[in-house]
Amino acid sequence: MKYLFTLLFLFTVSAIAQEVSEPEQLMQADRAFDLAVSQHGVDAWISFFAPNGSMIGDTSQPIVGREAIRKVMAPIFALPSFSLRWKPVHAEMMIPGRVGYTIGKSERRRKNSDGAMTLQYGTYATVWMKQPDSTWKAVFDTGCSDGPARVIDFLLFPSGIFAQPDAFRAKIDSIVSASPGVIGVAIELLESGDSLTVNPLLHLPMQSVYKFPVALAVLNRVDHHLLSLDQMIRVTKTDLLPDTWSPLRERYPAGNVDLPLREILSAMISQSDNNGCDILFRLLGGTDSVQAYIRSLGITGIAIAATEEQMHKDWNVQFANWCEPKAMLQLLKQFYLGNILSSGNTAFLRTVMERTGTGPGRIRGQLPPGTLVSHKTGSSGENEVGIAAATNDVGIVTLPDGRHYVIVVFVSNSTANEDARDATISSIARAAWDFFLTH
């Protein structure tokens, strides 16, 4: 099985060999080499060399033959978090129909002795020889670094696109740097795994973003036939607290009504109804029940400890409901991929999140009209000294070509006004949109 990717590559190259120019055949072979190595490591590296292939590695000494190459490269690929990607930029034939070369840019990532991720760019050249079966194999490979490895604060995986990721990171960096407060960002293109994070492990207050995990906990019980979206829930006058955001209270001011569970859940997500959230907390058995459910999914970077009522009594209580941006990205990703709920309840919650009306200037703010966004916002408002503890938006954006990216942006402890805080989120969402549209 480990050579399946090689066989597929050989078949593909043979099939296209008569349809494209020889330099383009080399470019395609080199791109296939990069992709296979990113997925299969040292086995793929060896498989793309001719039996007598050679290379010059970090020791600057010639390494000849597949087994010698494996002996040198296997420990490198085994390093924690090691990643090597490259992109050919030019190909030329040296002997038409027989020998040619590719040159390009490489990008190596690994953790240093302190555990920090490092990034090192380089330049490489590979000489290819046509084999008897008309496929191309590497007979010589060498490269050099463009400078020392540097510790990176932003993570973009996988790479394979070199100047552009730098520009993307720089764009996000400029937005974050210009924004007062603490900014947490996690972005991932679902179809490729390309991701970028800023402050991914900080504990940032969620505010109403935590209603998304609450909805998951409710729908998990629906999946297990412990609840039904059509069951009626008694909502009393005392359930509808007056000093909090609650479209349900405005709709049923006298209370004492029986409402279907789906209506309460929809109001909690699409309209961010605080009373609806606390009604569902009581239905589930409290915040501890929701916390235990999220932990059961393997998500440890989310803390759910206080109800909406409790948060409204004390400004500082909101910080007990915290989230690591990376953890929220993982929760959204697993939800959207259908790994948490049944297909029916996944579709239901996605639709409810697409109808979110709060925070129109955040993720949606700078995206083209009509863009499909399934998201949940969270807002603290400002305290007496003008600090906003939480201005948040998290969700999934659908690109015009049908791909999707998950985006999590938390703006915490900011002194900027609401429009500026929203603009930070919308600018990050737009930067991701522009980047992924072209890659």
What is the C-alpha to C-alpha distance for residues 100 and 20, in angstroms, rounded to an integer? 15
Q: How many CB atoms lie within 10 A of CB 17?
A: 15
pLDDT at residue 211, rounded to an integer:
98
Please name the amino acid found at residue 379: S
Residue 22 — φ and ψ, nearest 5°?
-60, -45
CA distances from 306 to 189, 247, 286, 312, 410 (A): 32, 21, 9, 10, 19
The mean pLDDT of 406-412, rounded to a whole number, is: 97
382 has catalytic annotation: no
pLDDT at residue 4, rounded to an integer:
40
Write out the DSSP string of 30-70. Answer: HHHHHHHHHHHTHHHHHHTEEEEEEEE-TT-SEEESHHHHH
Q: Assess whether pLDDT exceeds 70 at residue 73.
A: yes
Which of the two residues, 151 and 350, has the higher pLDDT score?
350
State the architecture of 4-147 in CATH terms: Roll (3.10)
Q: Which of 106-110, 230-234, 320-324, 327-331 has the lowest mean pLDDT?
A: 106-110
Pairing of strands 136-145, 117-130: antiparallel
Q: Assess whether pLDDT exceeds 50 at residue 18.
A: no
pLDDT at residue 151, rounded to an integer:
53
Residue 171 — φ and ψ, nearest 5°?
-65, -50
Look at the block and give the residue holding tokens 């504990």: 203
Angle at 321 between CA 261 and CA 200, to 5 degrees: 115
Q: Which of 72-81, 120-129, 291-300, 419-428 has the lowest mean pLDDT?
A: 72-81
pLDDT band at 336 (very low <50, low <70, confident <90, very high): very high
pLDDT at residue 261, rounded to an integer:
98
Q: Assess whether pLDDT exceeds 60 at residue 6.
A: no
What is the C-alpha to C-alpha distance for residues 348 and 223, in angstroms, rounded to an integer? 12
pLDDT band at 15 (very low <50, low <70, confident <90, very high): very low
Which of the two residues, 6 and 200, has the higher pLDDT score?
200
**Catalytic pick among 208, 379, 380, 426:** 208
pLDDT at residue 81, rounded to an integer:
75
Pairing of strands 232-235, 257-260: antiparallel
pLDDT at residue 46, rounded to an integer:
94
Tokens of 6: 């090689």
Q: What's the pLDDT tens digit per position in 93-103? A: 999 999 999 99
State the architecture of 165-437 in CATH terms: 3-Layer(aba) Sandwich (3.40)
CA distances from 394 to 76, 105, 216, 354, 378 (A): 37, 34, 15, 12, 9
The mean pLDDT of 320-335, rounded to a whole number, is: 96
What is the C-alpha to C-alpha distance for residues 214 and 221, in angstroms, rounded to an integer? 11
195 has catalytic annotation: no
Look at the block and give the residue holding tokens 């399946």: 4
Residue 364 DSSP one-character state = T
pLDDT at residue 405, rounded to an integer:
97
What is the C-alpha to C-alpha distance for residues 199 and 154, in angstroms, rounded to an integer? 8
Q: What's the pLDDT tens digit per position in 25-55? A: 999 999 999 888 888 889 999 999 999 999 9
The per-residue b/e assignment along 24-34, b for 16 or more CB within 10 angstroms, e otherwise, is: ebbbbbbbbbb
Residues with Cβ < 8 Å from 303, sequence gap 6 or more?
A: 203, 291, 320, 321, 322, 323
Q: Could you tell me which of 334, 348, 337, 302 has the C-alpha nearest to residue 205? A: 302
Please name the amino acid found at residue 406: V
* Cα 260 to the center of its chain, rounded Å: 34
The mean pLDDT of 410-418, rounded to a whole number, is: 96
CA distances from 156 to 105, 308, 407 (A): 16, 36, 14
Query: From start to end of 166-285, where are the E strands?
Result: 182-189, 195-198, 204-205, 232-235, 257-260
**Catalytic pick among 22, 188, 308, 324:** 308
Q: Which of 85-99, 100-114, 160-174 has the lowest mean pLDDT?
A: 160-174
What is the C-alpha to C-alpha distance for residues 289 and 51, in angstroms, rounded to an integer? 60
Q: Which of 39-48, 164-173, 397-406 has the lowest mean pLDDT?
A: 164-173
pTM comes to 0.67
Q: Could you tell me which of 226, 330, 312 has the C-alpha nearest to residue 275? A: 312
What is the C-alpha to C-alpha distance for residues 429 and 393, in angstroms, rounded to an integer? 10
Q: Assess whether pLDDT exceeds 90 at residue 16.
A: no
CA distances from 328 to 192, 227, 323, 376 (A): 19, 25, 7, 11
Q: What's the pLDDT tens digit per position in 188-217? A: 999 888 889 988 889 999 999 999 999 999
Which of the two residues, 41 and 249, has the higher pLDDT score?
249
Q: What's the pLDDT tens digit per position in 110-150? A: 877 776 777 787 889 999 999 999 999 999 999 888 766 65
What are the extents of the domains in the chain?
4-147, 165-437
Q: Which residues is 138 bridged to in the sheet?
A: 49, 128
Which stretches within 42-162 are classed as H helix?
A: 42-47, 66-77
pLDDT band at 3 (very low <50, low <70, confident <90, very high): very low
